[in-house]
Structure formats: C-alpha cells, structure tokens
C-alpha cells in the first residue's frame, strides 16, 4: 500500500479498519469510551516528544494523535452524528469566530485586548449553548455552574488545578499557603486511619483527598503540578539507573540485590545530585 500525504487516505484506511466482516476485529470492538484513554495517552506522548526536542518523534506522535481524531469521527459517522468533515468545519468556524482581529474588522489589538476579546466570545458561545439546551442549563445547581467551565475530559492533575482556580474566583480558597500545609498533615493522618481499617475504598478516597490538597499546595506555590511530577519521574529514572549501574559493576541485577544495597546506591546518586 502506497504512502500518502492526503488526509482523505487516512479517513479511507480508518473506514476499512471499521468495515464489518472485513475490518480489524480490535478496531471494530472499540467505542468512544474505550478509545478515550488512548486519546489522552497520545496527547501526553506529543508533549513528551516536544520536551525531547526530537522533531521526527514529534511528527510520528502528531500522526498518532490525528489517528485518534479520525477514529472518533469515524465512529460518530457510523452513528449518523457527524463525520471528519464536520469536525474540520466546527474548528474552522470556531477559529474564525474567535479571531475577529484577524479575519474580521477588529484590528490592531494588543495581546491583553485579544485575551479579553477571546473571553467575551467564549462567554457568548456558552450563553448560546444554554439557549439551545435550556433544560440542561436549568438542571445545574449553583455550585455546578461555577465549576461547569472546567471540562471533564482533562487529565486529573490539570482538572484539579482548574477546579480549585474556579472555586477561588468566587472566594472559596485559602489565603495562606501555611494553611494548605496544615491540611496536608490532616489528610495524611486520615490516610493512615483509612489504611488501619483495611477498607480499600476508603483508602482510595483518602489518598484522592491527599492528592487534591497537594495539587492545591502546588498551585499556591506557583508550581505546575504536572511539570513537578514529570520532573520527579525523570529524577527517579536517573537515580534508579544509577542503582542498576552500581549493581551491574558487582555482577548483580536488582532482582539479585537486597533492598539495603539498592537503598545505599540510591542515596549515593542523591548525594551526587542525580
């Protein structure tokens, strides 16, 4: 099969993969819910490729992410909801509508004025959605309306930050970072109590609360929690590589070493600033 730079070829391939009887069994088995985690994963892999500076890897990962869009659009087309062309039409219309300073008569705006205009346009779009579906808008309680601008499809860390910011905008927030630190101690204690009960669902619930407060600490400290965790992951990888290298010089693998041996090498990596 020949390579192609034409998006229509990708759409044709996706249709073939989803064709009953002749398509791929795995692709035919999927639905929106089962594909959603892959869509999120591919977005993260795009971010990782950007961070690595490898443009060839970025090209490949963007293709993987585009496949997710085509996959969802194909399933929607099968339902008679919309097709890939409809996706393109929606984003094209939105970009033109949200950039009147480029495609309309509003010219020579500063970056701050563009941001303010963007906010006004988004607010109007939200109002129009409420007009189209008044029953849904009326069903939302007051608290849900405050947080409704935070989309549910965001990664958990990102969404936690946005939920906290939205609540903070209406005054529901700590004024002192030390109060957040006190809350972390409180939540850690509740995790300990939950562990003592042996009830897994309570442990999960309390760990979730602890994570949420840690995100709040990051927000108050002006730190992006996703970036901080990504850095911690990279640090862990570097230090564990030092552990493996150190064991290798002794003719051992991690499976053959004691925890004490690995911990000593870990602390050595830490002293060296790894």
Condensed to tens digits (0 to 9), the pLDDT of residues 78-94 reads 999 999 999 999 999 99
pLDDT for residue 204: 96
Say yes or no: 36 and 91 in one domain: yes
Pick 244 or 149 by higher pLDDT: 244
Say yes or no: 72 and 118 in one domain: no
Instruction: Evaluate whether residue 192 is within a structural domain.
Output: no
Instruction: Evaluate whether residue 175 is within a structural domain.
Output: no
**Among 72, 98, 124, residue at a domain's last position:** 98
- What total number of domains does the chain contain? 3
Residue 82, class by beta-carbon neighbours within 10 Å (0-12 exposed, 13-18 middle, 19+ buried)? Answer: middle
In this predicted model, what pLDDT tens digit does every residue of 116-151 receive, in sequence order? 888 888 888 877 877 777 766 666 555 557 887 787
**Among 139, 162, 191, residue at a domain's last position:** 139
Instruction: Evaluate whether residue 12 is within a structural domain.
Output: yes
In this predicted model, what pLDDT tens digit does every residue of 253-267 receive, in sequence order? 999 999 999 999 999
Average pLDDT of 208-218? 96
Report the distance separating Cα 223 and Cα 133, nearest Å: 38
Average pLDDT of 15-31? 96
Q: Measured in Å, how far apart are the chain's first and last C-alpha atoms?
A: 47
Instruction: Evaluate whether residue 1 is within a structural domain.
Output: no
- Beta carbons within 8 Å of 5's beta carbon, 6+ residues apart: none
* Domain coverage including residue 134: 106-139
Say yes or no: 34 and 115 in one domain: no
Say yes or no: 49 and 123 in one domain: no
Report the distance separating Cα 25 and Cα 90, nearest Å: 31
Say yes or no: 93 and 114 in one domain: no
CA dihedral of residues 227, 228, 232, 235 (deg, nearest 10)? 70
């Amino acid at each position: 099969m020949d390579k192609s730079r034409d998006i229509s070829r990708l759409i044709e391939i996706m249709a073939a993969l989803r064709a009953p009887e002749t398509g791929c069994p795995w692709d035919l088995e999927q639905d929106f819910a089962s594909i959603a985690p892959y869509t999120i994963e591919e977005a993260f892999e795009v971010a990782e490729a950007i961070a690595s500076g490898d443009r060839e890897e970025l090209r490949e990962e963007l293709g993987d992410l585009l496949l997710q869009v085509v996959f969802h659009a194909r399933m929607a087309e099968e339902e008679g909801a919309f097709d890939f062309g409809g996706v393109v039409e929606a984003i094209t219309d939105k970009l033109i509508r949200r950039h009147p300073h480029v495609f309309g008569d509003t010219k020579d705006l500063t970056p701050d004025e563009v941001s303010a205009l963007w906010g006004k346009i988004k607010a109007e779009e939200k109002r129009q959605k409420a007009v189209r579906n008044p029953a849904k808008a009326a069903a939302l309680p007051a608290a849900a309306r405050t947080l409704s601008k935070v989309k549910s499809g965001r990664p958990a860390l990102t969404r936690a930050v946005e939920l906290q910011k939205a609540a903070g905008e209406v005054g529901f927030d700590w004024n002192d970072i030390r109060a957040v630190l006190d809350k972390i101690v409180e939540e850690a204690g509740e995790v300990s109590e939950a562990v003592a009960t042996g009830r897994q669902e309570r442990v999960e619930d309390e760990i979730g609360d602890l994570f949420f407060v840690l995100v709040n600490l990051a927000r108050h400290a002006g730190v992006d929690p996703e970036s901080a965790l990504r850095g911690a992951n990279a640090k862990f990888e570097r230090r564990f590589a030092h552990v493996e290298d150190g064991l290798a010089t002794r003719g051992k693998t991690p499976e053959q070493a004691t925890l004490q041996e690995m911990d000593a090498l870990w602390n050595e990596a830490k002293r060296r600033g790894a």
